[in-house]
A and B are shown apart, each in its own frame.
Chain A
């Protein structure tokens, strides 16, 4: 959704500064279309996030155009935390972030219901503790 902010704000600015009402209406219509397009893409992107708890590791998949799949073994999880930003709090969702010793791992699951995120965190933490290995 963040990607949509720039074109839409540009269109709004253009609509406000043009003199003729016809041009303003056209620009507003284009703005609505862009918004709808991005909203659709954002929805599909959000739905593309999938995760699967396997016996030894967690599998996370996401992306439509750029597909990414991450496998994080439970034994490699150093800690798991839940992040809730201001916008996320308003919408009642939370992001689960998994940390390994590798910074590149970037394993997270956004858009979870807070209760479910907590359950998942506790489950993952318990599994990680059972299998945690040295570096």
Chain B
């Protein structure tokens, strides 16, 4: 790409966040304190008082101080945040270390037309940069700029002509030029800047290997940018059905129902002691429902973009080449309906990316889709035909070691990826591109030695996907390790060469 297409001058001098941020911080803290106080009151009946009254005042004062002392700026090479009320801290993120950019809109932030911008960085202890409370349109522009500077590997998608610079450089604010804005509303997380360029500037996307209408039955997702096209939409009906077919949701619902029954039979005293358990069960169900509601996956020249959330909205952008591994999971009940979940490992999200979620939650690429679509998507993203691959089964003698699990083990490798299958109750397919393998380990326990078996693990960056070729024939496993080492070396070199050309 020929230079940045978004003008970065507004951020060249240190700037504060939006002036409303102390207020929003206060609301957030008060809500947290309220929940805590609620639990305490229900738990021990009484107490509290002074602390609950004084805390919001202190929090408000601290919030204003924090806002006054926090600035961010964009320099030629990095994003920089200066913060700290008493101890000053200056943090910088080099553009080439950026793994993904998120724009999140928690309900309160969203009501004020603001957004949180999160930049995921690989390595180090603080693995993400957070800009709380920036204007939606500014967040979208900053994201576009950062993503452009954080070029990953050669994308499958190329912009036909790089002359769209003028189009983006004069991107109008969502409010000031509604004529060129195709879809802007209070609900469009991080997609406020949507401009329609001249048709001949639109990027040429390669054809999809599957009929988009299957994946994409519910119409156009909100706020498509000009350089974006949809890949998959999770319909609300299927999403709710998938929750009804989910074991953990059933378990939480049972806990909640037992709480209600106890309350009805024996009154409030019976549930007060274990109230937090019922509360947590309710929160779990609600969170599962609201977090992935209205899930859309699109593809743009910046990379993959995920948007989801009912009240709190999330928009996550992963530059091409930043996905380290894929996992397709088919839980037992979902197999009846032929559905699957698609997860990915992205380097910056190892601890959940600071979005108040576990790393498993932060890694969902698609919460529920027909399994063919999941396989086709991985095929499309990795360039290797995953669905048609015949997986070599584990040797028959492995049943003495793992019993019925043996039939679920399978593995295959081709020119681009390694595919490993395992799991009896929830069937899993782990897929890792050769270039993303960090190291390889071969394990052999005493039982395995007696049966001439061995297991191979391919290590990728920390994340939800683990790639294990379990219970392979010992000689086959040793051969696989040496061949995989070679394949990974070659693939890594090719990727590096492509990166250097791009840079």
Contacts and interface: CB of A to CB of B under 8 A. Distances in A.
Nearest to B348: A135
Contacts of B355: none
Interface in B489-503: 489, 492, 495-496, 499
Nearest to B454: A67
Interface centre among A70, A104, A133, A134 (most CB of B within 10 A): A134
B481 A69 contact: yes
A71 B443 CA distance: 12
A3 interface: no
A135 B347 contact: yes
Contacts of A133: 492, 495-496
Contacts of B499: 134
B29 interface: no
Interface in A87-115: 100-107
B457 A104 contact: yes
Nearest to A56: B489
A103 B462 contact: yes
B440 A71 contact: yes
A72 interface: yes
A6 interface: no
Nearest to B440: A71
A135 B481 contact: no
Contacts of A135: 99, 122, 322, 324, 347, 436, 461
Nearest to B99: A135
A73 B461 contact: no
Contacts of A66: 443-446
Contacts, number: 86
A73 B439 contact: yes
B161 to A, nearest CB: 27
B439 A100 contact: yes
Interface string B302-345: 00000000000000000000101000000000000000000000
B440 A101 contact: no
B75 interface: no
Contacts of B99: 135
Given A66-B444, A105-B438, A71 B461 contact: no
Contact of A71 (B123, B436, B439, B492): B439
A101 B460 CA distance: 7
Contacts of A102: 438-439, 459-462
Interface residues of B, number: 33
Report whether over half of chain A's contact residues are helix, strand or loop; otherwise say mixed: mixed
B96 A100 contact: no
Nearest to B467: A104
A54 B497 CA distance: 22
B439 A105 contact: yes
Interface in A43-92: 56-57, 65-73, 75-76, 78
A107 B439 contact: yes
Interface in A25-45: none
Contacts of B439: 70-73, 76, 100, 102, 105, 107
A134 B122 CA distance: 10
A101 B438 contact: yes
Nearest to A104: B459
A19 B99 CA distance: 68
A51 to B, nearest CB: 13
Contacts of B96: 134
A70 B496 contact: no
Contact of B492 (A67, A75, A78): A75
Contact of A68 (B438, B443, B466): B443
Contacts of B489: 56-57, 73, 75
A73 B444 contact: no
Contact of B485 (A73, A101, A103, A105): A73
Interface string B418-454: 0000000000000000001011111111100100000
B5 interface: no
A65 B96 CA distance: 44
Contact of B496 (A57, A103, A134): A134
Contacts of B496: 133-134
B188 interface: no
B105 interface: no
Nearest to B153: A134
A101 B442 contact: no
Please name the 9 residue pairs, one residue from A and one from B, whose CB atoms are nearest each other, closest first: A102-B438, A102-B459, A69-B442, A67-B444, A105-B439, A100-B438, A104-B459, A72-B439, A71-B440
Given A70-B442, A75-B489, 20 more contacts: A65-B445, A66-B445, A66-B446, A67-B442, A70-B440, A73-B488, A75-B492, A100-B439, A101-B123, A101-B461, A102-B459, A103-B350, A103-B461, A103-B462, A104-B441, A133-B492, A134-B495, A135-B122, A135-B347, A135-B436
13 contacts: A65-B445, A66-B445, A67-B443, A70-B442, A78-B123, A103-B350, A103-B461, A103-B462, A104-B462, A104-B466, A106-B441, A134-B495, A135-B461
